């Protein structure tokens, strides 16, 4: 019987229209970013797609709230309130069936939006684990909570103005909660309050994801809101409606003290994204799983760069991408047998020639020390000083390169090797090492 009622609600009520509106607006937000040249924000990782979809809840959540308010007025619009109240079937059963149909429509629309967005990711990077699923589930749960709250408020205030006012209220509420964190001091409650909103910002880099405790606590909060919404909707007496607010109050009391107060604690390292994917054959070349779409290009560049580094003493024979972490540079010297290729080299526009120069920078070392010295060393290693730097290079690079190539070949090699040795441990002045102190 319940299944039949749900099918009727899905066919004949406005829930499908609400789900379709959610889907269309979400697609405009996602693929509108692509049209504006900002698709790289989410087209490399499922986690980023799930986070961008959560950010889109800035508009989708108020829409779901208003959709619930509109659906709640259905009986009054049709002039059937008195007739339905006289039937033998309890009113709460009919109202919860409507709420169930709305929840199904909103959840299907939310995950269909995720699936349509994933089409772009699948064509480039493929599947990268289930780290996106908790983020998406919390987002879908928040949309259900919004729809049920809208139904409850629409039942309590069945005015024609209720749906648009709910949309406006949702926009203002989310905007207020998300903006307040900008003016917070570290450790204040404002960051925890910010996490009560359904929206999330994108991850700080390609190697992080939402902390599990944040997903859990946000999920509990939206579950409590949904319970209050369905409780108010099902209640037939004023006292019962007051009791229905208990889940939201308890959820807030439980979740708010446990949510992190520091924005930095919201994201943690994603082990799936930092896992290594390696090319077959020699030399040994590995990139992180987050950048596996660049593996072929990085491998081709590494097979050009590593032989050029072979002129140095104790040269590297392999290359591995490392996620950028400047704080680890002083504590972890780079091994001499491997080029640590910083992930920032793959973040912006690049081609194979650019990658080769970036691999040669500093004698095959990660970013550390004077950038002029690192760039001159890369230019020198490209053909041992026979070709000057690119015309677009800074004047300081040209001057330092001329000073270096004016030296005897053996001294040139010695200084380039000394720069590499200093950069491996991030100690010493690279520019002074390269120029012998002459500036």
DSSP-assigned letters across all residues of 80-145? -HHHHHTSSS-HHHHHHHHHHHHHHHHHHHHHHHHHHHHHHHHTTT----STTHHHHHHHHHHHHH
Cβ–Cβ under 8 Å, residues 74 and 211: no
pTM, entire model: 0.82
The pLDDT score that the predictor gives to residue 166 is 94
Q: Which residue has the tokens 């950069």?
A: 423
pLDDT tens by residue, 197-211: 999 887 777 888 999
What are the residue ranges in the chain where pLDDT is below 50?
Answer: 1, 35-39, 78-80, 82-84, 86, 327, 439
The pLDDT score that the predictor gives to residue 138 is 97
How does the average pLDDT of the chain come out, rounded?
A: 83
The pLDDT score that the predictor gives to residue 83 is 39
Element (H, E) at 284: strand 284-288
Element (H, E) at 36: none
Task: Find all residues with CB under 8 Å of 262, minimum gap 6, and list them.
Answer: 186, 187, 191
Return the SS3 of 342: strand
Cβ–Cβ under 8 Å, residues 140 and 221: no
The pLDDT score that the predictor gives to residue 300 is 94
Residue 387, both tokens: 């070709």
The pLDDT score that the predictor gives to residue 175 is 85
Residue 88, exposed/middle/buried by CB under 10 A (0-12, 13-18, 19+)? exposed
Q: How far is CA 128 from CA 30, 38, 309, 321, in A?
A: 20, 21, 33, 18
* Biggest alpha carbon–alpha carbon distance for the chain: 103
The pLDDT score that the predictor gives to residue 43 is 66
Task: Find all residues with CB under 8 Å of 322, minimum gap 6, and list them.
Answer: 340, 341, 342, 343, 366
């Amino acid at each position: 019987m319940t299944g039949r009622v749900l099918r009727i609600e899905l066919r004949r009520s406005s829930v499908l229209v609400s789900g379709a509106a959610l889907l269309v607006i979400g697609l405009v937000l996602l693929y509108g970013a692509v049209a504006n040249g900002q698709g790289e924000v989410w087209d490399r990782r499922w986690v980023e797609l799930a986070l961008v979809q959560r950010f889109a809840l800035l508009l989708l959540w108020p829409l779901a709230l208003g959709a619930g308010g509109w659906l709640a007025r259905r009986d009054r619009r049709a002039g059937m309130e008195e007739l339905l109240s006289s039937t033998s079937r309890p009113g709460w059963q009919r109202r919860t069936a409507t709420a169930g149909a709305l929840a199904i429509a909103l959840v299907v629309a939310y995950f269909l939006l995720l699936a349509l967005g994933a089409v772009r990711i699948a064509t480039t990077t493929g599947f990268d684990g289930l780290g996106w699923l908790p983020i998406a589930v919390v987002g879908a749960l928040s949309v259900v909570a919004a729809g049920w709250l809208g139904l409850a408020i629409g039942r309590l205030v069945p005015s024609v103005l209720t749906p648009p006012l709910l949309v406006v209220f949702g926009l203002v509420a989310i905007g207020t909660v998300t903006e307040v964190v900008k003016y917070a001091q570290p450790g204040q409650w404002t960051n925890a309050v910010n996490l009560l909103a359904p929206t999330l910002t994108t991850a700080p880099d390609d190697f992080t994801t939402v902390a599990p405790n944040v997903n859990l606590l946000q999920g509990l909060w939206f579950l409590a809101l949904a319970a209050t919404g369905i409780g108010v909707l099902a209640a037939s007496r004023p006292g019962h409606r007051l009791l229905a607010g208990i889940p939201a109050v308890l959820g807030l009391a439980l979740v708010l003290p446990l949510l992190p107060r520091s924005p930095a604690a919201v994201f943690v390292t994603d082990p799936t994204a930092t896992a290594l994917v390696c090319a077959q054959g020699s030399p040994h070349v590995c990139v992180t799983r987050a950048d596996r779409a660049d593996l072929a290009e990085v491998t081709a560049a590494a097979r050009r760069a590593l032989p050029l580094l072979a002129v140095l003493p104790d040269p590297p024979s392999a290359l591995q991408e490392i996620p950028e972490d400047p704080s680890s540079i002083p504590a972890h010297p780079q091994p001499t047998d491997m080029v640590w290729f910083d992930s920032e080299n793959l973040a912006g526009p690049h081609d194979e020639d650019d990658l080769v120069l970036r691999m040669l920078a500093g004698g095959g070392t990660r970013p550390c020390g004077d950038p002029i010295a690192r760039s001159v060393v890369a230019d020198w290693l490209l053909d041992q000083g026979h070709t000057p730097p690119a015309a677009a290079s800074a004047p300081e690079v040209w001057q330092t390169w001329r000073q270096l190539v004016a030296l005897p070949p053996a001294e040139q090699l010695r200084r380039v090797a000394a720069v590499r040795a200093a950069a491996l441990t991030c100690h010493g002045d690279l520019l002074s090492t390269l120029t012998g102190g002459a500036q």
